[in-house]
Amino acid sequence: MNILISHNWLKDYLETKATPKKIADCLSLCGASVEHLTKKGDDWIYDIEVTTNRVDMMSVAGIARELAAILPQFGISAKLKRDPYQKYTLKDIKLKGTQKLDIIIEDSNKLCHRILGVILDGVKLGPSPSFIQDRLKKAGIRALNNAVDITNYVMTEIGHPAHVFDYDRLTTKKMIIRRAKSGETIVSLENKKYSLPGGDIVIDNGRGEIIDLPGIIGTENSIVKENTKRVLFFIETNNPVQVRKTSITLAIRTVAATLNEKGVDPELSAVALARGIQLFKDLTEAKVASQIYDLYPQPAQPKSISVTLQFIEERLGIKLSSIKVEQILKDLGFQIKTTEEANTKYEIFVPSWRGNDIEIPEDIVEEVARIYGYHNLPSILPTGRLPKVPHDQTFYWESFVKRALKDWGYTETYTYSLQSEELLRKFRLKTVDHLKLKNPLTAEWVYLRTSILPSLLEVLGKNTLREEVSLFELSKVYLPQQKGLPYEIQRLSLVSDSGFYEVKGIVEQLLSQMQIPSYFDPHEKITQLHPYQTAVIKSKKDGLILGIIGQVFSPITQSFSLKGPIIAADLNFDKLVFLAKKQSQYVPLPKYPPITEDLTFINQSGVLAQKIVDKILVTNKLLNQVNILGIFKNNISLRIDYQNPNRSLNDKEVAEIRKKIVANLEKLGLVLRGQLN
């Protein structure tokens, strides 16, 4: 996540003489990455990329805390001027007024970690002071009015989302935090209607009316208006998993949702409330008119980690003083208790804002390393024998197949794994057989594909002006399962307008080079392919189906604006990898010449030519090769080589083998044309 922070705003929390350029360089080396530094008048704007596990840094105060620890490592004096956890506390707020509000959390252990709220009276709505508007604008936020601006200011400065309700529009003075029912609707602040999928965290006014989608976006029926006098300033720390599910499903990506889904610190909510109350008093002349409502079902428990100095040094490969380690960790907000002098052992207490990402001793080592500076760690070559890494055959064969197909004139494509309903309809696939996205971003990307061929045909249709276009793609398809995640299969798909036998030859050659004995069975039918120009590719070893090949049914090619016959092949690449062999078997070249003869058979039964060849080859070991010379009507002409690697064959030996060949083929229903000598 990227955040924009003003340098002048940062100086409210950080005392240092470092220049913005130096701050950007040091922070990028040891913390978050400053992608851009832009000058705006007398100010500088930091565009900072913060890793998703460091939600504590996604604020002005969070960045200031990091810099207070980082800059001293570069010899630059830096100090945190304001620690928000100590500066803004609820104990300093004087409570007055008798306004009431009933807040109920259903299933509190799973919906909300903490809820805080306070009613403020005498609010004077109007534009925010110029410095507030300027800081929000530099943070990429549009100023609206002082009440709404305060919530955005608190979120940007402290790092916890905040919300404000018009208290008088909460007519029931009741708030029930519950799960939404499927089909319930809300109207957002932008007057946009959303239908909830169910299970979402919502706030109900006790009459079944939803008045907020907490942690994500407010609703139109509770926002502040021009005549608002009393407000409910509200801070909630919600279940991050559910917030993300709802945000993604409804395609509502607000900054509040982004922070909440990363798991903001529940302890920070009290800080945000105290800071917000202060700003309401200063900017709107509001007064506290109620008690502070604080619902904290399961308060966060302090976390501690034991680690020794030796443990840290062994993993970093350097010697560090105990004083250095303790100073780094204290600057980051950790509390430390040293329990042993001989082998310095630390009991490290993790601050609440780091509760989500500091779990094990290695996390402590990482904190020390990054603040000390990875660039300061010496580069040392590893010693000893390198472990053997198991080689993944899939990567080898992926490269092999892609290189081979490119050499044979095919162009590789990369198409989306998502397909539209129209694309599936063109290829005569049923949408019910596909997984559908709950919240597709566009009508073009709705269904997870079960076949690559529709996408290849679409690409082919956009290249109709070119002659003899041949395409292939090696990607995954996704087959729905009754339970759990889809079954992912890697498939190799080809389409070409070069003719059936050319594509068949490409597939045969590819399988041959992968050393996978196979044959083509034309007896099975496939809906999308021509009924009389289709074959299933099977393994000779066990009849395992490897894929299909055939001419795409003409109505389908027409729907893709394609003219002429289009040949498609689709193979299960996972099965090919399983059967493929790298090592070839080599035999010496024969010293003695073969005896070659041509035979023609009448094939009234329509036996497959490949089956005939296979039948001949198993007749005798001295049969070197069989080639098909030609097929005319019911006749098939074959050229047969007889060869013994150890000596020359005589006519009598050849005649004996020939008789066995004829006998075996007669069992298949073939008859030799002519007579044997």
pLDDT value at 677 more than 70:
no
**460 contacts 560 by C-beta, under 8 angstroms:** yes
pLDDT value at 674 more than 90:
no
CA atoms of 494 and 552, how far apart (whole Å) = 12
Give the pLDDT of residue 94: 81
Question: What distances in angstroms separate CA 416 from CA 101, 413, 454, 481, one per listed residue?
Answer: 51, 10, 11, 21
pLDDT value at 298 more than 90:
no
**270 contacts 241 by C-beta, under 8 angstroms:** no
Enumerate the H helices of 491-550 as residue ranges.
Answer: 500-513
Pick the closest to residue 289 from 230, 235, 234 (CA basis): 230
pLDDT value at 619 more than 90:
yes
For residue 545, what pLDDT band results from cuts at 50, 70 and 90? Answer: very high
CA atoms of 272 and 28, how far apart (whole Å) = 27
Three-state SS across 51-66? CCCCHHHCCHHHHHHH
pTM beyond 0.85 = no
90-295 matches 393-579 in fold: no
pLDDT value at 228 more than 80:
yes
pLDDT value at 109 more than 80:
no
For residue 145, what pLDDT band results from cuts at 50, 70 and 90? Answer: very high
Tell me the average pLDDT of the chain.
91
Beta-sheet strand order (sheet of 210-213): 102-105, 174-179, 201-204, 210-213, 217-218
What residue type is 503 in one-letter code? V
Q: Are strands 102-105 and 174-179 parallel, antiparallel or unpaired?
A: parallel
- Out of 3.40.50.410, 3.40.50.20, 3.40.50.1820, 3.30.930.10, which CATH number does the structure's domain 393-579 have? 3.30.930.10
CATH code that applies to domain 2-81: 3.30.56.10
Enumerate the H helices of 207-300 as residue ranges.
Answer: 240-250, 255-260, 266-284
For residue 271, what pLDDT band results from cuts at 50, 70 and 90? Answer: very high
* Cβ neighbour number for residue 89 with a 10 Å cutoff: 14
State the average pLDDT over residues 387-392. Answer: 80
Give the pLDDT of residue 342: 60
Give the pLDDT of residue 189: 87
Strand segments, DSSP code E, in 279-421 are 287-288, 293-295, 303-308, 335-340, 345-350, 411-412, 418-419
pLDDT value at 613 more than 80:
yes
pLDDT value at 360 more than 70:
yes
Q: What percent of the chain shows pLDDT beyond 90?
A: 75
CA atoms of 261 and 58, how far apart (whole Å) = 13
CA atoms of 532 and 196, how far apart (whole Å) = 50
For residue 341, what pLDDT band results from cuts at 50, 70 and 90? Answer: low
CATH code that applies to domain 595-672: 3.30.70.380
Give the pLDDT of residue 12: 95
H or E, element range at 319: none
pLDDT digits (tens, 9 = 90+) for 179-226: 999 999 999 988 899 999 999 999 999 999 999 999 999 999 999 998
State the average pLDDT over residues 71-92. Answer: 91
Give the pLDDT of residue 439: 81
**27 contacts 51 by C-beta, under 8 angstroms:** no
The binding site comprises 357, 363, 366-367
pLDDT value at 340 more than 80:
no
Using only the alpha carbons of the chain, give its radius of gyration: 37
**195 contacts 223 by C-beta, under 8 angstroms:** no
**132 contacts 143 by C-beta, under 8 angstroms:** yes
For residue 119, what pLDDT band results from cuts at 50, 70 and 90? Answer: very high
For residue 541, what pLDDT band results from cuts at 50, 70 and 90? Answer: confident
Give the pLDDT of residue 193: 93
Can you name the CATH fold of 90-295? Answer: Phenylalanyl-tRNA Synthetase; Chain B, domain 3 (3.50.40)
Give the pLDDT of residue 587: 78
Residue 537 pairs in a beta bridge with 520, 547
Three-state SS across 569-636? EEEEHHHHHHHCCCCCCCCCCCCCCCEEEEEEEECCCCCCHHHHHHHHHCCCCCEEEEEEEEEECCEE
pLDDT digits (tens, 9 = 90+) for 647-659: 998 989 999 999 9
Classify 194 as helix, strand or coil. strand
For residue 286, what pLDDT band results from cuts at 50, 70 and 90? Answer: very high
**222 contacts 166 by C-beta, under 8 angstroms:** yes
Give the pLDDT of residue 245: 92
**144 contacts 162 by C-beta, under 8 angstroms:** no
The binding site for Mg(2+) comprises 357, 363, 366-367
CA atoms of 464 and 497, how far apart (whole Å) = 10
Give the pLDDT of residue 464: 73
Can you name the CATH fold of 303-375? Answer: Phenylalanyl-tRNA Synthetase; Chain B, domain 1 (3.30.56)
Q: Are strands 418-419 and 33-40 parallel, antiparallel or unpaired?
A: unpaired
State the average pLDDT over residues 241-263. Answer: 92
CA atoms of 22 and 43, how far apart (whole Å) = 15
pLDDT digits (tens, 9 = 90+) for 407-420: 999 999 999 999 99
Pick the closest to residue 316 from 368, 280, 264, 281 (CA basis): 368
**109 contacts 120 by C-beta, under 8 angstroms:** no
H or E, element range at 535: strand 529-539
On the CB side of 666, CA atoms within 13 Å amount to 9
How many residues are given for the chain? 677
Distance of CA 21 to the CA centre of its chain: 34
Domain ranges (residues) in the chain: 2-81, 90-295, 303-375, 393-579, 595-672
pLDDT value at 25 more than 90:
yes
